[in-house]
Amino acid sequence: MPSSRKKPDSLLESLSEKLSKSSDLEQRSLCTAEHQVKLIYLKSVCDSATLNRFILTPFFETESEQSYENYIASFPGTTSSEDIKEILDYILQGRVGIVFNSGKIYLFEAVRVEAGPVQDAQTEVIVQGPSDSFNESLEVNMNLIRRRYQSHDLKAETTTVGNKSKTSVAIMYDQTRIDPDVLAEVKRRLEGISIDILQASAELDKYLSANKFRLFPTTIVTERPDRAVFNISEGKIVLLVDTAGYAVILPAIFNDFFTAMDDKLQVLPVGWFLKTIRYIGLMMTVTLPAFYVAFTSFNTEVWKVQIALLVSGSRATVPYPSFMEVILMLLMMEFLTEASLRLPKAIGPTATTVGGLILGTAATEAGLVSNIMIILVSAVAISNFVIPLNMMGFTIRVLKYGFIFLGTIYGLLGVVLGMVGVVMYLTGLRSFGKPYFRMFSVDRAKVSSSSKGERTDG
Amino acid sequence: MVKSKYFYYLFLINALINIINFVPRGLISHRFSGAMMSVLIAVLIGTLFIYLFVKGMSKFPQKGLPEILNENYPRIISSLMLLGHVVLWYTAGLITLLSFVDVSLRYISSDVPSYIIMIGFLVVVCLSIRLTSESIMYALEVLIVLNIPLIIYFLLKGLLNPYFSWDAVMQIVTYSWTMPSYESIAQATFIFSGYINLALFNRVFKNLKVRHFWLIGVMGFLILLISFLVPIGYQGTVGIERHVYPWFTTADALRTKTFIVERVLFMFYFTYLTLSLVSTIVHWHVALEFTKGIFVSKKQRTSPKRSIEWWIIIPFSILALLGLKMGQFTLDHLGLMYLDVRFVGEMFMILSVYFTYWLKRRRRRKT
């Protein structure tokens, strides 16, 4: 038997030494005539009401030490340990160490979680359908998923990530539908993460991916429980991070980023229509500026005569080449987006008014940019916002500058080069061994079971 | 592993790209001397070749040609055979690229220097050929499926045009009974030779089953007729011979009234640029993998390091840039010559696959 059992005081001493200079460390000694125990805990992470009700009051009501020990041990959250490091971890998590005279230490769960109530989704708003979103507590999040997926096949394994933050990460999946290779790969990568602090789910996404420098997100970060549940039912893995209000879904394919959760609520043709709209939006936001540069500076003969005249007439006063015009206006648009994102809610609308209305009108009247340019920039911005998931939206925002560059050098030819390049890049990507981009990816549930032998380098 | 349907994409990409690789040009120069007959013969030969090759490769499931040759022949012979195929595949991609640079200069970007265009093409192609074979198949599918509606639109537009001269076409059809030459047959079979990429892509097919060989035959026949006869319907039986890229001239004759782009040429260019890039990627990917097959170390049977790919890609690119020195006349000749030589190469390939199978079986029986 380890020495800690013989000398309860030395155990307490070494614990309090480790936790010294913590003003929230609480050490208590409870004694009645018959028996006595010692408590050690951090009061900042423990719930004092629970403590009073389930530890203090019963102590004075029980007659013997043995019956109190039995009472404490009967709680489902109570554990016992003899390893000092493990005990320390438990106390830091928010457990109360109860040391009996026999030297046995029980760790009673009295953790206080400060997390807001379940709120409506903020970043993925839908028209109809459930509107609750994950919050900062892991248990609440698991509850949100379990309640929607009442099957014994739904498994939830927990590990910790982060040397200092010790954040618990729950891996949730349906064991009958999942590809075991992917699961093993995820677990392997999770173990390989060596960072001090993990605070956000998106961070996890960054450390999980095999290729650090990539353009497209290969995991979905979502705040919607219904999306998480839907993906679990499709055989994907959901990672829930404690203290982060978002879940990571993997593996993710390109098409997932263009699916909103209310697509399924619509009548079938409407759903198709919405999806088509999003892909058209994608094409427009990426290629419109590049096409503008290509067609005004390179291949003016492409346009119908009327349109060519219209554009060049509207550009007559503009004193610089078209690509300067496009880049200037797009940058202004990016500033506007960024500014209205970070500004306090009260000032936000002012920025949009000043930027959008006044700047746009004044710039065209001054002859610095053409009217058509303003229309184009707004079209690009709006069609960018059509993409339902933010991560992809940001990627696309960056991508269009690459196309403008190609359009500036090569004209129409450059835009085509860019498109082929992006398609090749996308098909070369793998999300945890699954092909990221394919034409007919709808039958992926069937494919996933038949394509296990696929090579994953790429 | 990919499904069998990807085999049809391999067939389709070659069939669609024939316009760039001088097939119409070759056939048109034989239009009074047996081109029609060679189309018919090519359909038979092409379908037969596809059948034979698919059957032959199915004897070596999930193996590419480099593995098949390296396992069954002495090093020197397998390397030489592979090298021959590398040259053929590389030239296929090279001709597509060179003629597309030429087309771009002539029709789209006349003020961009040719080597800048070539560098643009090479960057996309060379970065893409390093992807895995599956990825290339997926990209092939995406780009073909996206482009097919446009191609159908061009065809309808072209065939329904009142200025399309059916008389000129009928006149060529009256030459159907003229005996063809070897060249015109070899040139016409090019549209079927997408199947030959299976020599590498067989690695990623999971028990490949090709059904509907007749469908491939019918499709090939229609595509051949269209790519040969439609330019004649526009340019006339005699006037056509002045054009190096008959199809681009034809596309330039078409006009859409209801779209912001008036000249069909630009949409046609758009489509064919994507298709020829992806076709080059497929061809050069095969060439790259075959070259890697030459450098496989015999003892470990492991494929060489990925860094070696750059040492293959660099000469590929330098040769392509040097190829720009070629005039249009030489390129035209090279293109037609390639079509003739390739036909022999294909026959050799099919024979070698069957011979290897026979050799392997005999060896197994002995032991």
- Residues A223 and A334 both lie in one domain: no
Please give the single-letter amino acid code of residue A70: N
Answer yes or no: do A147 and A39 share one domain.
no
Cα A252 to chain centroid distance, Å, stands at 13
Question: Which of A303, A423, A425 should one mutate to test binding to chain B, selecting the residue with the greatest count of B CBs within 10 A?
Answer: A423
Inter-chain CB proximity A307 and B277 less than 8 Å: no
What residue of B is the nearest CA neighbor of A448?
B1
Judge: A427–B281 Cβ closer than 8 Å, yes or no.
no
Q: Are residues A280 and A407 in the same domain?
A: yes
pLDDT greater than 50 at residue A457:
no
Per-residue pLDDT, A5 = 47
B295 close contact with A: CB closer than 8 A: no
CB-based burial, A130-158: b 16+ in 10 Å, e otherwise:
beebbbbbbebbbebbeebbeeeebeeee
pLDDT band at B302 (very low <50, low <70, confident <90, very high): low
Q: State the average pLDDT for chain A.
A: 83
Please check whether residue B207 touches A, CB under 8 A: no
ipTM: 0.91
Count how many pairs of residues, chain A against chain B, have C-beta atoms within 8 Å.
Answer: 113
Residues A74 and A150 in one domain: no
- Chain B residues close to A424, C-beta within 8 Å: 124, 127-128, 131, 135-136, 139, 281
Residue A274 lies in a domain: yes
Nearest by CB: B117 against A299, A413, A440: A413
Give the pLDDT confidence of A240-255 residue by residue, as tens digits. Answer: 988 888 899 988 888 8
Predicted TM-score (pTM) of the model is 0.86
Do A277 and A234 share a structural domain?
A: no
- The pLDDT score that the predictor gives to residue A32 is 81
Examine the domain organization and report whether A319 and A366 are in the same domain. Answer: yes
Per the structure, the count of domains in chain A is: 3
* Percent of chain B residues topping a pLDDT of 70: 98
In this complex, do A414 and B135 lie within 8 Å of one another by their Cβ atoms? no
In a domain, A114, yes or no: no
Contact B134 A419 (CB under 8 A): no
Cross-strand pairs, B74: none
Decide if B189 contacts B43 (C-beta within 8 A): no
CA A387, A388, A394, A397: dihedral to nearest 10 degrees? 10
Same domain, A316 and A408: yes
User: Does residue A86 have a pLDDT over 70?
Assistant: yes
Please compute, for residue B182, the number of CA atoms within 13 A of its CA located in the half-sphere on the CB side. 6
Q: Look at A42-46, A117-121, A452-456, B172-176 and tell me which has the smallest mean pLDDT.
A: A452-456
Q: Is the pLDDT of residue A151 over 50?
A: yes
Given a cut of 60, is residue A453 above it in pLDDT?
no
A221 within 8 A of A205, measured Cβ to Cβ: yes
Question: Any idea what the CATH number is for the domain that residue B78 is in?
Answer: 1.20.1740
One domain, residues A307 and A406: yes
Whether A443 is covered by a domain: the verdict is no
Q: Out of B139, B263, B277, whose CB is closest to A427?
A: B139
**Does one domain contain both A408 and A323?**
yes
Q: Is B237 on the interface with A (CB under 8 A)?
A: no
A417–B135 C-beta distance less than 8 A: no
Choose the closest CB to A303 out of B131, B206, B260.
Answer: B260
DSSP state, A4?
G
Please check whether residues A335 and A386 belong to one and the same domain. Answer: yes
- The Cα of A356 is separated from the nearest Cα of chain B by a number of Å equal to 27
Residues A276 and A422 in one domain: yes
**Following CA atoms B137, B138, B144, B147 in sequence, which dihedral angle do they give, to the nearest 10 degrees?**
-150
Does A304 share its domain with A213?
no
Mean pLDDT of the region B323-346: 90
**Contact residues of A toward B, CB < 8 A:** 298-299, 301-305, 307, 406, 409-414, 416-417, 419-421, 423-424, 426-428, 435, 437-440, 450-451, 453-455, 457-458
Question: Domain boundary at A224, A252, A280, which?
Answer: A252
Whole-angstrom distance, CA of residue A220 vs CA of residue A238: 9
Domain region containing A316? 268-435
Per-residue pLDDT tens over the stretch A407-444: 998 888 999 999 999 999 999 888 888 888 887 765 44
H, E, C per residue of A133-195: CCCCCHHHHHHHHHHHCCCCCEEEEEEEECCCCCEEEEEEEECCCCCHHHHHHHHHHHHHCCC
Cβ atoms of A241 and A201 within 8 Å: the answer is yes
Q: Does a structural domain hold residue A296?
A: yes
Question: Beta-carbon neighbour count of residue A434 at 10 Å?
Answer: 24
Residue A122 within a domain: no
Tell me which residue range forms the domain holding B248: 5-366
Count of Cβ atoms closer than 10 Å to residue A375 Cβ: 14
> Would you call the peptide bond into B74 cis, given omega within 30 degrees of 0 as the criterion?
no
Distance from CA of A192 to the nearest CA of B (A): 25
For residue A93, what are its two tokens? 């998590």
Number of domains in chain B: 1
**Is the pLDDT confidence value at B222 over 90?**
yes
Domain boundary pick from A252, A283, A308: A252
Task: With beta carbons less than 8 A apart as the criterion, state whether B242 and B89 touch.
Answer: no
pLDDT of residue A442: 53
